[in-house]
Amino acid sequence: MRDICYLNGEFLPLERACISPMDRGFLFGDGAYEVVPVYGGRPFRLPAHLRRLDQTLAGIRLPNPHTHEHWTRLIHELLAAGQWRDAGVYLQITRGVPEQRDHAFPEGTRPTVFMTASPLPAPMPPDSEQGKSAVRLQDNRWGRCDLKTVALLPNVLLRQQAVEAGADEALLLRDGQLTEGAASNAFVVCENRVKTPLQGPGLLPGVTRDFVVELLRDHGVACECTTISAEELARADEIWLTSSTKELLPVTRLDGEPVGDGRPGPMWRRTRAWFDEHKAAWAAGG
């Protein structure tokens, strides 16, 4: 595996990639990004990731520089160049490099397109006895968290606050309702009922979240997309985190107190096993 990236039409070693400091992604956080997991050399749920990229770019009024077919070809070329089989592909589009710094959109500026790949963290097996920890924090981010933009400073600060409290993630509450994690979507299990927050402007439309919802329903487990109160979160029997790189993780401590019996719960174990079965079949070409 090699540190190869794609930048504005060229594949090159990552250390040779150069972007102007006048780029609007650097100056304003004016851009969109996606992270696509790859198993066995096959991008997982790529059409869903590209649709979400379309939604983000439309939301920030930045034309997509490539068709889905072109993105697919570039991702496969990047994976082949870096000899990647299992990886997370990161792609980013910014509004490009204007002649001068100005908040207004520049005219005629070519978008900056960047893409690279990196190893995925090892997944947590279904028989794990250890989980992750989280703290509850107030969600003080902007009102369009459904857009996957590179302007992530609020998420960074919330995640850092969790780390400084000795936790792995922050679970965010707005108006007394759970939205998501600082870098993840969230699920709760209460009395064998699985719930995840209702989609809206306050949280990211997670591709892995949607896959887990489908996976549960395919196995006959109802999953409600609904509001989840702070009280429901506090008394949950299980809490899960999902993301493209985390996949599916159990939270076993919340604000220093055990969730359920303090171990990964039975519903998570079953769902994690189903996730791994599907992933293995996908990597094998199924």
Q: Catalytic residue positions?
A: 148
Q: Using CA atoms, how far apart are residues 28 and 60, in angstroms rounded to an integer?
A: 12
Q: Provide φ and ψ at 203, rounded to 5°.
A: -150, 160
Least Cα distance to 126 among 8, 263, 281 occurs for 263
* Other CB atoms within 10 Å distance of the CB of residue 109: 15
Dihedral-angle region of residue 57 (phi above 0 means left; psi in -120 to 50 means alpha; beta otherwise): alpha
For 147, 169, 171, 241, the CA distances from 132, given in Å and listed in that order, are: 26, 8, 12, 9
Residues 6+ apart with CB under 8 A from 271: 212, 215, 216, 221, 240, 248
Q: Tokens 């899960």 belong to which residue? A: 240
